[in-house]
Amino acid sequence: ASPNAHFQLLNPHLDVNGYPVYFVNEASDYGYKSSLAGVSSFGFGGTNARGDIWGRAQLGARRTSQVIHTLARQSQAVTFQRIVDYGGLGPQGGDMILAVGSWDGWRAGHVLESIGTSGEFSFVLIIGETRREFFSIALNESMDALFRPAYCNSDQHADVIGPDYGASFDKTWWMIDAKADGCPAGTVYRVTFTWRFSWERGEYKSLWWEPYELMPHSKARRMKSFTHGYFIMGTFNSWASQEMEKSKDEE
């Protein structure tokens, strides 16, 4: 226990005067999946003690789970092979960046356009009737590697993780919330994905979006509208998914 945990008087045996330590009184995220912390105690009678604690994240975006060694080895092998083939990480000339999302039922990838040579890629989408769209970023047509946010249903301020080889689309994704932006269904959004690499600074990845009102109609038409299906579950159908029929007045 730290000295500031005592309400009445400071415990003289826990005095930290002259000791290079700082006790925080708030839980803080220091950005790692596990930690090893230790403390040394120097007694007045010459007795010394040492305690070490190891812990791992079990909740949240950095939670740890069982390692699937085959996927880990595959991901490591692919990463090393990219370094051998291209001399570094980051986007390469033969790479294709795709966006896969709810706007078409996660059916196909939409190729992002490269913006110059700065490592920026962009695409446009039309917000559907729910005024929310979910998506992930895939590397190359095989879609065997994904870029994803640090937590599910995240906004554009979350850390970008990846490319994760062998990852699936049902883990984490970004959510564009047009409701929060005050934008109606049918609003065109532009999404920009940045992926750079240098040996001095390492890999840099970011993603952001904004309503794009000046989108030419020719580009907007490329994103065909998709009609989602709606299902209902309840006691009347033993909680089985039952597809709802569209009103004939709206056809």
Query: 32 is in which domain, residue-wise?
Result: 7-56
Q: Looking at the domain assignment, is residue 232 inside a domain?
A: no
For 73, phi then psi, to 5°, come to -65, -40
Asked if 83 and 52 sit in the same domain, the reply is no
188: its two tokens:
């065109």
Whether 35 contacts 54, CB under 8 Å:
yes
Q: Looking at the domain assignment, is residue 63 inside a domain?
A: no
Instruction: Please tell me the predicted confidence (pLDDT) of residue 35.
Output: 86
How many independent structural domains does the chain possess?
Answer: 2
Asked if 152 and 31 sit in the same domain, the reply is no
Residue ranges of the chain with pLDDT lower than 50? 1, 3, 214, 220-221
Asked if 31 and 112 sit in the same domain, the reply is no
Instruction: Please tell me the predicted confidence (pLDDT) of residue 198.
Output: 82
The model's pLDDT over 186-237, given as tens digits with 9 standing for 90+, comes to 888 999 999 988 878 788 899 999 997 645 555 544 555 567 788 999 999 8
Chain center to CA of 171: 9
Instruction: Please tell me the predicted confidence (pLDDT) of residue 137.
Output: 92
Instruction: Please tell me the predicted confidence (pLDDT) of residue 214.
Output: 47
Positive or negative CA dihedral for 188, 135, 56, 205?
negative
Q: Looking at the domain assignment, is residue 107 inside a domain?
A: yes
Instruction: Please tell me the predicted confidence (pLDDT) of residue 134.
Output: 93
Instruction: Please tell me the predicted confidence (pLDDT) of residue 139.
Output: 87
Q: Looking at the domain assignment, is residue 1 inside a domain?
A: no
Asked if 135 and 20 sit in the same domain, the reply is no
- pTM here is 0.64
